[in-house]
A and B are shown apart, each in its own frame.
Chain A
Protein backbone atom coordinates (compact mmCIF):
# COMPACT_ATOMS: atom_id res chain seq x y z
CA UNK A 1 0.00 0.00 0.00
CA UNK A 2 1.83 3.10 -1.19
CA UNK A 3 -1.07 5.43 -0.42
CA UNK A 4 -1.65 6.05 3.29
CA UNK A 5 -4.73 8.18 2.71
CA UNK A 6 -7.07 8.05 -0.27
CA UNK A 7 -10.22 10.15 -0.52
CA UNK A 8 -12.68 9.96 -3.40
CA UNK A 9 -15.53 12.40 -3.97
CA UNK A 10 -16.11 13.05 -0.28
CA UNK A 11 -19.38 14.86 0.42
CA UNK A 12 -20.69 15.80 3.83
CA UNK A 13 -23.89 17.70 4.60
CA UNK A 14 -24.83 19.22 7.94
CA UNK A 15 -28.55 19.88 7.83
CA UNK A 16 -28.99 21.93 4.68
CA UNK A 17 -25.36 23.02 4.48
CA UNK A 18 -22.82 21.24 2.32
CA UNK A 19 -19.57 21.25 4.29
CA UNK A 20 -17.64 19.05 1.84
CA UNK A 21 -18.51 19.06 -1.82
CA UNK A 22 -16.60 16.29 -3.60
CA UNK A 23 -13.14 16.34 -2.03
CA UNK A 24 -10.40 14.15 -3.51
CA UNK A 25 -7.12 13.59 -1.69
CA UNK A 26 -4.23 11.22 -1.93
CA UNK A 27 -1.32 11.05 0.49
CA UNK A 28 1.63 8.75 -0.23
CA UNK A 29 2.90 6.75 2.76
CA UNK A 30 5.42 8.66 4.83
CA UNK A 31 4.54 12.08 3.45
CA UNK A 32 3.15 15.17 5.13
CA UNK A 33 0.09 16.70 3.50
CA UNK A 34 -0.89 20.24 4.46
CA UNK A 35 -4.61 20.91 4.19
CA UNK A 36 -4.85 24.64 3.91
CA UNK A 37 -7.93 26.81 4.14
CA UNK A 38 -9.81 29.46 6.10
CA UNK A 39 -12.26 28.85 8.93
CA UNK A 40 -15.26 26.96 7.63
CA UNK A 41 -13.47 25.61 4.54
CA UNK A 42 -14.13 22.03 5.66
CA UNK A 43 -10.66 21.08 6.93
CA UNK A 44 -11.87 19.76 10.26
CA UNK A 45 -14.70 17.86 8.58
CA UNK A 46 -12.14 16.07 6.39
CA UNK A 47 -10.06 15.12 9.44
CA UNK A 48 -13.06 14.00 11.46
CA UNK A 49 -14.25 11.84 8.58
CA UNK A 50 -10.83 10.24 8.14
CA UNK A 51 -10.56 9.67 11.90
CA UNK A 52 -13.90 7.76 11.76
CA UNK A 53 -15.69 10.38 13.89
CA UNK A 54 -18.09 11.42 11.13
CA UNK A 55 -19.74 9.33 8.45
CA UNK A 56 -19.57 10.82 4.94
CA UNK A 57 -22.82 11.73 3.17
CA UNK A 58 -21.33 10.43 -0.08
CA UNK A 59 -17.95 9.39 -1.42
CA UNK A 60 -15.39 7.04 0.09
CA UNK A 61 -12.16 7.26 2.02
CA UNK A 62 -9.45 4.80 2.94
CA UNK A 63 -6.87 5.19 5.68
CA UNK A 64 -4.01 2.71 5.64
CA UNK A 65 -6.02 0.79 3.04
CA UNK A 66 -9.05 0.43 5.33
CA UNK A 67 -12.43 1.92 4.48
CA UNK A 68 -13.24 4.56 7.11
CA UNK A 69 -16.88 3.49 7.32
CA UNK A 70 -16.82 -0.29 6.84
CA UNK A 71 -13.52 -0.92 8.58
CA UNK A 72 -13.62 1.92 11.11
CA UNK A 73 -12.29 -0.28 13.91
CA UNK A 74 -9.20 -1.19 11.86
CA UNK A 75 -8.62 2.47 11.00
CA UNK A 76 -8.71 3.39 14.70
CA UNK A 77 -5.91 0.92 15.39
CA UNK A 78 -3.44 2.75 13.15
CA UNK A 79 -4.26 6.43 13.55
CA UNK A 80 -3.47 9.18 16.02
CA UNK A 81 -5.63 12.27 16.31
CA UNK A 82 -4.85 15.68 17.74
CA UNK A 83 -7.86 17.97 17.64
CA UNK A 84 -8.17 21.72 17.34
CA UNK A 85 -8.58 22.01 21.06
CA UNK A 86 -6.34 20.00 23.34
CA UNK A 87 -8.48 16.97 23.92
CA UNK A 88 -6.80 15.72 27.05
CA UNK A 89 -8.63 15.29 30.35
CA UNK A 90 -7.88 18.51 32.22
CA UNK A 91 -8.55 16.99 35.61
CA UNK A 92 -5.97 14.23 35.20
CA UNK A 93 -2.24 14.79 35.40
CA UNK A 94 -0.20 14.62 32.22
CA UNK A 95 1.08 11.22 33.24
CA UNK A 96 -2.38 9.88 34.08
CA UNK A 97 -3.66 11.05 30.71
CA UNK A 98 -0.97 9.09 28.88
CA UNK A 99 -1.42 6.01 31.07
CA UNK A 100 -5.16 6.16 30.41
CA UNK A 101 -4.64 6.10 26.65
CA UNK A 102 -2.06 3.32 26.94
CA UNK A 103 -4.42 1.18 29.03
CA UNK A 104 -7.27 1.80 26.60
CA UNK A 105 -4.99 0.66 23.79
CA UNK A 106 -4.48 -2.61 25.63
CA UNK A 107 -1.06 -2.05 27.22
CA UNK A 108 -0.40 -3.74 30.54
CA UNK A 109 -0.23 -1.41 33.55
CA UNK A 110 3.59 -1.45 33.67
CA UNK A 111 3.88 -1.03 29.90
CA UNK A 112 1.46 1.91 29.92
CA UNK A 113 3.46 3.60 32.67
CA UNK A 114 6.76 3.04 30.86
CA UNK A 115 5.33 4.38 27.60
CA UNK A 116 3.89 7.42 29.42
CA UNK A 117 7.24 8.20 31.08
CA UNK A 118 9.13 7.83 27.79
CA UNK A 119 6.75 10.22 26.03
CA UNK A 120 6.82 12.71 28.92
CA UNK A 121 10.62 12.76 28.68
CA UNK A 122 10.46 13.03 24.91
CA UNK A 123 8.12 16.01 25.07
CA UNK A 124 9.93 17.80 27.93
CA UNK A 125 6.98 17.36 30.26
CA UNK A 126 8.72 15.43 33.04
CA UNK A 127 8.52 18.25 35.56
CA UNK A 128 4.82 18.79 34.94
CA UNK A 129 4.04 15.07 34.73
CA UNK A 130 2.28 14.92 38.08
CA UNK A 131 0.35 18.16 37.75
CA UNK A 132 -3.25 18.30 36.43
CA UNK A 133 -3.34 19.22 32.76
CA UNK A 134 -5.52 22.24 33.54
CA UNK A 135 -2.45 23.95 35.05
CA UNK A 136 -0.46 23.56 31.80
CA UNK A 137 0.37 26.43 29.47
CA UNK A 138 -1.02 26.33 25.92
CA UNK A 139 2.23 24.98 24.53
CA UNK A 140 2.57 22.29 27.20
CA UNK A 141 -0.98 21.19 26.68
CA UNK A 142 -0.48 20.90 22.94
CA UNK A 143 2.65 18.82 23.55
CA UNK A 144 0.70 16.58 25.90
CA UNK A 145 -2.07 16.28 23.34
CA UNK A 146 0.42 15.30 20.66
CA UNK A 147 2.07 12.84 23.04
CA UNK A 148 -1.36 11.34 23.79
CA UNK A 149 -1.95 10.75 20.10
CA UNK A 150 1.43 8.99 19.83
CA UNK A 151 0.97 6.48 22.67
CA UNK A 152 -0.12 3.79 20.21
CA UNK A 153 2.71 4.55 17.77
CA UNK A 154 0.29 5.43 14.96
CA UNK A 155 1.35 4.96 11.34
CA UNK A 156 -0.90 7.79 10.28
CA UNK A 157 -1.31 10.98 12.28
CA UNK A 158 -3.97 13.68 11.95
CA UNK A 159 -3.09 17.10 13.30
CA UNK A 160 -6.02 19.50 13.19
CA UNK A 161 -4.70 23.06 13.42
CA UNK A 162 -1.88 22.00 15.72
CA UNK A 163 -0.35 25.44 16.18
CA UNK A 164 -3.50 27.52 16.68
CA UNK A 165 -3.11 29.40 19.94
CA UNK A 166 0.61 28.72 20.30
CA UNK A 167 3.26 31.41 20.68
CA UNK A 168 6.04 31.44 18.06
CA UNK A 169 8.47 29.46 20.21
CA UNK A 170 5.97 26.74 21.01
CA UNK A 171 5.04 26.61 17.33
CA UNK A 172 8.65 26.08 16.25
CA UNK A 173 8.97 23.36 18.86
CA UNK A 174 5.87 21.67 17.47
CA UNK A 175 7.20 21.92 13.92
CA UNK A 176 10.40 20.28 15.04
CA UNK A 177 8.43 17.34 16.44
CA UNK A 178 6.36 16.96 13.30
CA UNK A 179 9.59 16.80 11.27
CA UNK A 180 10.89 14.09 13.62
CA UNK A 181 7.75 12.06 13.08
CA UNK A 182 8.10 12.50 9.37
CA UNK A 183 11.69 11.30 9.58
CA UNK A 184 10.45 8.20 11.43
CA UNK A 185 8.17 7.41 8.50
CA UNK A 186 4.84 8.55 9.93
CA UNK A 187 2.30 9.80 7.43
CA UNK A 188 0.89 13.13 8.60
CA UNK A 189 -2.16 15.05 7.50
CA UNK A 190 -2.15 18.48 9.07
CA UNK A 191 -4.69 21.24 8.68
CA UNK A 192 -3.66 24.83 9.01
CA UNK A 193 -4.69 28.37 8.24
CA UNK A 194 -1.09 29.45 7.82
CA UNK A 195 0.76 29.19 4.55
CA UNK A 196 3.96 29.54 6.53
CA UNK A 197 3.19 26.37 8.46
CA UNK A 198 2.22 24.36 5.40
CA UNK A 199 5.33 25.74 3.73
CA UNK A 200 7.56 24.65 6.62
CA UNK A 201 6.19 21.14 7.09
CA UNK A 202 4.26 19.79 4.16
CA UNK A 203 5.58 17.80 1.21
CA UNK A 204 2.49 18.87 -0.66
CA UNK A 205 -0.40 21.24 -0.03
CA UNK A 206 -4.08 21.03 -0.81
CA UNK A 207 -6.04 24.27 -0.62
CA UNK A 208 -9.63 23.89 0.50
CA UNK A 209 -12.34 26.53 0.12
CA UNK A 210 -16.04 26.13 0.84
CA UNK A 211 -15.77 22.36 0.82
CA UNK A 212 -13.89 22.07 -2.46
CA UNK A 213 -10.26 21.54 -3.38
CA UNK A 214 -9.31 24.68 -5.27
CA UNK A 215 -5.59 24.07 -5.72
CA UNK A 216 -2.94 21.51 -4.95
CA UNK A 217 0.77 21.17 -5.37
CA UNK A 218 3.98 21.94 -3.58
CA UNK A 219 4.39 25.21 -1.76
CA UNK A 220 6.61 26.52 -4.58
CA UNK A 221 4.05 25.59 -7.21
CA UNK A 222 1.27 27.39 -5.36
CA UNK A 223 3.30 30.52 -4.83
CA UNK A 224 4.26 30.59 -8.48
CA UNK A 225 0.57 30.72 -9.38
CA UNK A 226 -0.06 33.59 -7.05
CA UNK A 227 2.70 36.06 -7.68
CA UNK A 228 5.81 36.13 -5.60
CA UNK A 229 5.08 39.19 -3.51
CA UNK A 230 2.51 41.61 -2.25
CA UNK A 231 2.84 45.35 -2.41
CA UNK A 232 1.27 47.10 0.53
CA UNK A 233 0.74 50.78 1.18
CA UNK A 234 -0.56 52.37 4.36
CA UNK A 235 -1.99 55.85 3.89
CA UNK A 236 -2.00 58.49 6.62
CA UNK A 237 -5.65 59.34 6.07
CA UNK A 238 -8.00 56.33 5.62
CA UNK A 239 -10.42 58.62 3.74
CA UNK A 240 -8.15 58.67 0.71
CA UNK A 241 -7.55 54.89 0.72
CA UNK A 242 -10.00 54.24 -2.12
CA UNK A 243 -8.40 56.93 -4.26
CA UNK A 244 -4.94 55.52 -3.50
CA UNK A 245 -6.16 52.06 -4.51
CA UNK A 246 -7.22 53.42 -7.91
CA UNK A 247 -3.77 54.86 -8.46
CA UNK A 248 -2.05 51.63 -7.42
CA UNK A 249 -4.34 49.53 -9.62
CA UNK A 250 -3.44 51.75 -12.56
CA UNK A 251 0.27 51.30 -11.97
CA UNK A 252 0.52 47.56 -11.18
CA UNK A 253 -2.25 46.47 -13.53
CA UNK A 254 -3.97 44.25 -10.91
CA UNK A 255 -7.01 45.25 -8.83
CA UNK A 256 -5.69 46.52 -5.47
CA UNK A 257 -7.57 45.61 -2.28
CA UNK A 258 -8.44 48.09 0.47
CA UNK A 259 -8.58 47.15 4.13
CA UNK A 260 -9.01 50.22 6.36
CA UNK A 261 -5.98 52.39 5.75
CA UNK A 262 -4.04 49.60 4.03
CA UNK A 263 -4.03 48.87 0.31
CA UNK A 264 -2.44 45.73 -1.11
CA UNK A 265 -1.88 44.18 -4.51
CA UNK A 266 0.05 41.16 -5.78
CA UNK A 267 3.09 42.09 -7.87
CA UNK A 268 5.51 40.09 -9.98
CA UNK A 269 7.96 42.93 -10.52
CA UNK A 270 9.38 44.70 -7.42
CA UNK A 271 10.64 47.45 -9.73
CA UNK A 272 7.13 48.93 -9.71
CA UNK A 273 7.64 50.27 -6.21
CA UNK A 274 9.11 53.69 -7.17
CA UNK A 275 6.42 54.15 -9.81
CA UNK A 276 3.68 53.54 -7.21
CA UNK A 277 5.25 56.01 -4.82
CA UNK A 278 5.53 58.64 -7.60
CA UNK A 279 1.91 58.18 -8.67
CA UNK A 280 0.67 58.61 -5.10
CA UNK A 281 2.92 61.60 -4.52
CA UNK A 282 1.60 63.33 -7.66
CA UNK A 283 -2.01 62.88 -6.48
CA UNK A 284 -1.08 64.38 -3.14
CA UNK A 285 -1.76 61.22 -1.12
CA UNK A 286 0.38 61.01 1.98
CA UNK A 287 1.96 57.59 2.46
CA UNK A 288 2.66 56.40 6.01
CA UNK A 289 4.24 53.09 5.06
CA UNK A 290 5.05 51.22 1.89
CA UNK A 291 6.73 47.92 1.21
CA UNK A 292 6.78 44.41 -0.20
CA UNK A 293 6.16 41.18 1.64
CA UNK A 294 6.11 37.52 0.66
CA UNK A 295 2.74 36.14 -0.42
CA UNK A 296 0.58 35.36 2.60
CA UNK A 297 -2.09 32.71 2.55
CA UNK A 298 -4.62 35.48 2.19
CA UNK A 299 -2.82 36.57 -0.96
CA UNK A 300 -2.80 33.00 -2.24
CA UNK A 301 -6.46 32.84 -1.50
CA UNK A 302 -7.30 36.08 -3.14
CA UNK A 303 -5.45 35.03 -6.24
CA UNK A 304 -7.04 31.55 -6.33
CA UNK A 305 -10.60 32.39 -5.38
CA UNK A 306 -11.03 36.10 -5.95
CA UNK A 307 -12.28 36.53 -2.38
CA UNK A 308 -10.50 37.03 0.89
CA UNK A 309 -10.22 33.97 3.09
CA UNK A 310 -10.68 35.90 6.34
CA UNK A 311 -7.72 34.27 7.94
CA UNK A 312 -6.55 35.02 11.38
CA UNK A 313 -3.81 37.61 11.05
CA UNK A 314 -1.06 35.81 12.96
CA UNK A 315 -0.38 32.35 14.19
CA UNK A 316 0.39 33.55 17.69
CA UNK A 317 -3.11 34.66 18.63
CA UNK A 318 -4.46 32.83 21.59
CA UNK A 319 -7.43 30.74 20.60
CA UNK A 320 -8.24 29.85 24.20
Chain B
Protein backbone atom coordinates (compact mmCIF):
# COMPACT_ATOMS: atom_id res chain seq x y z
CA UNK B 1 0.00 0.00 0.00
CA UNK B 2 2.82 2.33 0.95
CA UNK B 3 4.77 1.39 -2.15
CA UNK B 4 1.72 2.17 -4.27
CA UNK B 5 1.39 5.63 -2.74
CA UNK B 6 5.06 6.30 -3.46
CA UNK B 7 4.70 5.06 -7.03
CA UNK B 8 1.82 7.50 -7.53
CA UNK B 9 3.93 10.32 -6.08
CA UNK B 10 6.79 9.48 -8.45
CA UNK B 11 4.38 9.32 -11.38
CA UNK B 12 3.06 12.76 -10.38
CA UNK B 13 6.61 14.03 -10.44
CA UNK B 14 7.21 12.72 -13.98
CA UNK B 15 4.04 14.44 -15.16
CA UNK B 16 4.90 17.76 -13.47
CA UNK B 17 8.26 17.64 -15.27
CA UNK B 18 6.58 17.81 -18.65
CA UNK B 19 5.08 21.18 -17.77
CA UNK B 20 8.61 22.59 -17.41
CA UNK B 21 9.90 21.08 -20.62
CA UNK B 22 8.31 22.72 -23.66
CA UNK B 23 10.21 20.42 -26.05
CA UNK B 24 8.87 17.30 -24.43
CA UNK B 25 5.39 18.82 -24.31
CA UNK B 26 5.72 19.58 -28.03
CA UNK B 27 6.72 16.01 -28.73
CA UNK B 28 3.55 14.83 -27.02
CA UNK B 29 1.19 17.32 -28.65
CA UNK B 30 2.41 19.26 -31.67
CA UNK B 31 4.49 16.50 -33.26
CA UNK B 32 1.71 13.87 -33.56
CA UNK B 33 -0.75 16.47 -34.85
CA UNK B 34 1.85 17.64 -37.36
CA UNK B 35 2.42 14.07 -38.53
CA UNK B 36 -1.29 13.45 -38.88
CA UNK B 37 -1.96 16.65 -40.81
CA UNK B 38 1.13 16.31 -43.01
CA UNK B 39 0.46 12.73 -43.97
CA UNK B 40 -3.21 13.42 -44.47
CA UNK B 41 -2.90 16.39 -46.81
CA UNK B 42 0.50 15.75 -48.46
CA UNK B 43 0.33 12.01 -49.05
CA UNK B 44 -3.40 11.36 -48.61
CA UNK B 45 -4.32 12.13 -52.22
CA UNK B 46 -1.52 9.97 -53.62
CA UNK B 47 -2.07 7.04 -51.29
CA UNK B 48 -5.86 6.86 -51.02
CA UNK B 49 -7.20 9.13 -53.75
CA UNK B 50 -8.15 11.94 -51.36
CA UNK B 51 -7.24 13.10 -47.85
CA UNK B 52 -10.74 12.32 -46.65
CA UNK B 53 -10.45 8.70 -47.73
CA UNK B 54 -6.98 8.43 -46.19
CA UNK B 55 -8.02 9.72 -42.75
CA UNK B 56 -9.57 6.48 -41.52
CA UNK B 57 -6.48 4.58 -42.62
CA UNK B 58 -3.84 6.90 -41.24
CA UNK B 59 -5.37 8.01 -37.91
CA UNK B 60 -4.99 4.60 -36.21
CA UNK B 61 -1.50 4.39 -37.73
CA UNK B 62 -0.42 7.76 -36.34
CA UNK B 63 -1.78 6.76 -32.91
CA UNK B 64 0.47 3.69 -32.97
CA UNK B 65 3.47 5.59 -34.31
CA UNK B 66 3.12 8.29 -31.69
CA UNK B 67 2.92 5.67 -28.93
CA UNK B 68 6.24 4.22 -30.10
CA UNK B 69 7.98 7.61 -30.10
CA UNK B 70 6.61 8.64 -26.69
CA UNK B 71 8.20 5.55 -25.09
CA UNK B 72 11.61 7.09 -25.82
CA UNK B 73 10.93 9.49 -22.96
CA UNK B 74 10.82 6.63 -20.47
CA UNK B 75 14.46 5.89 -21.33
CA UNK B 76 15.32 9.57 -21.56
CA UNK B 77 13.88 10.38 -18.13
CA UNK B 78 15.44 7.33 -16.48
CA UNK B 79 18.85 8.17 -17.94
CA UNK B 80 18.51 11.78 -16.76
CA UNK B 81 17.78 10.55 -13.23
CA UNK B 82 20.75 8.18 -13.35
CA UNK B 83 23.27 10.67 -14.72
CA UNK B 84 22.12 13.61 -12.59
CA UNK B 85 22.10 11.71 -9.30
CA UNK B 86 18.33 11.93 -8.73
CA UNK B 87 18.06 8.15 -8.85
CA UNK B 88 20.58 7.86 -6.02
CA UNK B 89 18.56 10.22 -3.91
CA UNK B 90 15.49 8.03 -4.40
CA UNK B 91 17.47 4.88 -3.62
CA UNK B 92 18.67 6.37 -0.34
CA UNK B 93 15.04 6.94 0.73
CA UNK B 94 12.98 4.31 2.54
CA UNK B 95 10.89 3.41 -0.53
CA UNK B 96 10.64 0.11 -2.45
CA UNK B 97 13.39 -0.43 -5.01
CA UNK B 98 10.89 -0.80 -7.85
CA UNK B 99 8.93 2.39 -7.08
CA UNK B 100 10.99 4.86 -9.20
CA UNK B 101 10.73 2.65 -12.28
CA UNK B 102 7.07 1.85 -11.66
CA UNK B 103 6.30 5.55 -11.19
CA UNK B 104 7.95 6.41 -14.48
CA UNK B 105 6.08 3.72 -16.41
CA UNK B 106 2.78 4.68 -14.79
CA UNK B 107 3.36 8.32 -15.78
CA UNK B 108 4.10 7.09 -19.29
CA UNK B 109 0.72 5.34 -19.44
CA UNK B 110 -0.98 8.62 -18.52
CA UNK B 111 1.02 10.51 -21.18
CA UNK B 112 0.17 7.84 -23.73
CA UNK B 113 -3.53 8.00 -22.89
CA UNK B 114 -3.51 11.78 -23.25
CA UNK B 115 -1.68 11.45 -26.58
CA UNK B 116 -4.31 9.04 -27.90
CA UNK B 117 -7.13 11.29 -26.69
CA UNK B 118 -5.53 14.29 -28.38
CA UNK B 119 -5.13 12.47 -31.71
CA UNK B 120 -8.71 11.17 -31.55
CA UNK B 121 -9.97 14.71 -30.91
CA UNK B 122 -7.95 16.19 -33.80
CA UNK B 123 -9.03 13.26 -35.97
CA UNK B 124 -12.65 14.03 -35.15
CA UNK B 125 -12.16 17.69 -36.09
CA UNK B 126 -10.63 16.60 -39.40
CA UNK B 127 -13.70 14.49 -40.11
CA UNK B 128 -12.96 11.05 -38.64
CA UNK B 129 -16.09 9.16 -37.52
CA UNK B 130 -15.98 5.92 -35.56
CA UNK B 131 -17.38 3.02 -37.61
CA UNK B 132 -17.45 0.55 -34.71
CA UNK B 133 -18.47 1.16 -31.07
CA UNK B 134 -17.16 2.93 -28.01
CA UNK B 135 -16.29 -0.51 -26.60
CA UNK B 136 -14.15 -1.24 -29.66
CA UNK B 137 -12.50 2.16 -29.31
CA UNK B 138 -11.70 1.51 -25.64
CA UNK B 139 -10.36 -1.87 -26.67
CA UNK B 140 -8.02 -0.09 -29.10
CA UNK B 141 -6.86 2.30 -26.35
CA UNK B 142 -6.20 -0.54 -23.90
CA UNK B 143 -4.36 -2.56 -26.55
CA UNK B 144 -2.11 0.35 -27.48
CA UNK B 145 -1.42 1.11 -23.80
CA UNK B 146 -0.58 -2.51 -23.00
CA UNK B 147 1.84 -2.57 -25.91
CA UNK B 148 3.30 0.76 -24.75
CA UNK B 149 4.04 -0.59 -21.26
CA UNK B 150 5.70 -3.68 -22.72
CA UNK B 151 7.71 -1.68 -25.23
CA UNK B 152 8.78 0.78 -22.49
CA UNK B 153 11.08 -1.96 -21.19
CA UNK B 154 13.10 -1.74 -24.39
CA UNK B 155 13.55 1.97 -23.73
CA UNK B 156 14.38 1.33 -20.07
CA UNK B 157 17.25 -0.80 -21.33
CA UNK B 158 18.35 1.95 -23.73
CA UNK B 159 18.10 4.44 -20.86
CA UNK B 160 20.29 2.27 -18.64
CA UNK B 161 22.92 1.57 -21.30
CA UNK B 162 23.22 5.06 -22.80
CA UNK B 163 25.89 7.41 -21.55
CA UNK B 164 23.65 10.49 -21.43
CA UNK B 165 20.05 11.54 -22.17
CA UNK B 166 20.98 12.91 -25.61
CA UNK B 167 22.20 9.48 -26.68
CA UNK B 168 18.93 7.91 -25.54
CA UNK B 169 17.03 10.24 -27.84
CA UNK B 170 19.45 9.81 -30.71
CA UNK B 171 19.45 6.03 -30.49
CA UNK B 172 15.75 5.74 -29.63
CA UNK B 173 14.47 7.82 -32.54
CA UNK B 174 16.99 6.42 -35.01
CA UNK B 175 15.92 2.87 -34.19
CA UNK B 176 12.22 3.70 -34.13
CA UNK B 177 12.01 5.44 -37.50
CA UNK B 178 12.61 2.33 -39.65
CA UNK B 179 10.57 0.13 -37.31
CA UNK B 180 7.53 2.41 -37.48
CA UNK B 181 7.78 3.45 -41.12
CA UNK B 182 8.47 -0.02 -42.50
CA UNK B 183 5.08 -1.17 -41.28
CA UNK B 184 1.43 -0.85 -42.19
CA UNK B 185 1.20 2.45 -40.27
CA UNK B 186 1.04 4.76 -43.31
CA UNK B 187 0.47 2.67 -46.42
CA UNK B 188 -1.10 -0.69 -47.31
CA UNK B 189 1.51 -3.43 -47.22
CA UNK B 190 0.58 -4.68 -50.73
CA UNK B 191 2.07 -1.52 -52.26
CA UNK B 192 5.56 -2.36 -50.98
CA UNK B 193 8.13 -4.52 -52.81
CA UNK B 194 7.76 -8.19 -52.03
CA UNK B 195 11.17 -8.56 -50.36
CA UNK B 196 10.05 -5.95 -47.82
CA UNK B 197 6.61 -7.40 -47.17
CA UNK B 198 7.96 -10.29 -45.11
CA UNK B 199 9.52 -7.87 -42.63
CA UNK B 200 6.45 -5.65 -42.59
CA UNK B 201 4.11 -8.52 -41.82
CA UNK B 202 6.38 -9.75 -39.04
CA UNK B 203 6.73 -6.25 -37.59
CA UNK B 204 4.62 -5.96 -34.40
CA UNK B 205 3.95 -2.32 -35.29
CA UNK B 206 2.05 -3.55 -38.36
CA UNK B 207 0.01 -5.94 -36.26
CA UNK B 208 -0.81 -3.21 -33.78
CA UNK B 209 -1.71 -0.73 -36.53
CA UNK B 210 -3.93 -3.35 -38.22
CA UNK B 211 -5.61 -4.14 -34.91
CA UNK B 212 -6.19 -0.45 -34.13
CA UNK B 213 -7.57 0.10 -37.63
CA UNK B 214 -9.96 -2.83 -37.33
CA UNK B 215 -11.14 -1.72 -33.89
CA UNK B 216 -11.86 1.79 -35.18
CA UNK B 217 -13.05 1.11 -38.76
CA UNK B 218 -14.41 -2.42 -38.51
CA UNK B 219 -13.04 -5.66 -39.93
CA UNK B 220 -11.35 -8.69 -38.39
CA UNK B 221 -9.59 -7.40 -35.26
CA UNK B 222 -9.06 -10.58 -33.24
CA UNK B 223 -6.04 -11.97 -35.13
CA UNK B 224 -3.90 -8.79 -35.23
CA UNK B 225 -4.96 -7.89 -31.66
CA UNK B 226 -3.93 -11.29 -30.36
CA UNK B 227 -0.69 -11.08 -32.35
CA UNK B 228 0.06 -7.66 -30.82
CA UNK B 229 -0.60 -8.95 -27.32
CA UNK B 230 1.68 -11.94 -27.85
CA UNK B 231 4.40 -9.60 -29.11
CA UNK B 232 3.87 -7.35 -26.08
CA UNK B 233 4.18 -10.34 -23.79
CA UNK B 234 7.31 -11.53 -25.58
CA UNK B 235 8.96 -8.12 -25.45
CA UNK B 236 8.16 -7.74 -21.75
CA UNK B 237 9.39 -11.24 -20.88
CA UNK B 238 12.70 -10.61 -22.64
CA UNK B 239 13.34 -6.96 -21.89
CA UNK B 240 12.00 -6.47 -18.35
CA UNK B 241 14.49 -8.88 -16.71
CA UNK B 242 17.25 -7.72 -19.05
CA UNK B 243 16.62 -4.06 -18.12
CA UNK B 244 16.51 -4.76 -14.40
CA UNK B 245 19.73 -6.77 -14.71
CA UNK B 246 21.45 -3.97 -16.64
CA UNK B 247 20.17 -1.38 -14.17
CA UNK B 248 21.51 -3.30 -11.19
CA UNK B 249 24.84 -3.70 -12.94
CA UNK B 250 25.03 0.01 -13.66
CA UNK B 251 24.15 0.87 -10.06
CA UNK B 252 26.74 -1.58 -8.69
CA UNK B 253 29.40 0.08 -10.82
CA UNK B 254 29.17 3.02 -8.45
Contact = CB atoms under 8 A, between A and B. Distances in A.
B2 A106 contact: yes
Interface residues of B, number: 27
A54 B13 CA distance: 26
B252 interface: yes
A86 B88 CA distance: 11
B203 interface: no
Interface string B70-99: 000000000001001110111111110000
Contacts of B17: 89, 91-92
Nearest to A54: B254
Interface string A139-178: 0000000001100100000000000000000000000000
Contacts of A44: 254
B92 A81 contact: yes
Interface string A74-102: 00110101011111111110001000110
Given A14-B253, A83-B85, A92-B16, A101 B93 contact: yes
Contact of A103 (B9, B89, B94, B253): B9
B6 interface: yes
Contacts, number: 78
B85 A19 contact: no
B186 to A, nearest CB: 33
A88 B89 CA distance: 8
Interface string A24-67: 00000000000000000000110010011111000000000000
A287 interface: no
B91 A105 contact: no
Interface in B87-137: 88-95
A54 B92 CA distance: 10
Interface in B197-254: 251-254
B24 to A, nearest CB: 9
A54 B88 CA distance: 10
B89 A81 contact: yes
Nearest to B10: A104
Q: Which 9 residue pairs spanning A and B have beta carbons closest together?
A: A87-B85, A91-B17, A76-B94, A103-B9, A81-B92, A91-B20, A87-B89, A77-B94, A83-B85
Interface of B: 2, 5-6, 9-10, 12-13, 16-17, 20-21, 81, 84-86, 88-95, 251-254
Interface of A: 14, 19, 44-45, 48, 51-55, 73, 76-77, 79, 81, 83-92, 96, 100-101, 103-106, 132, 148-149, 152
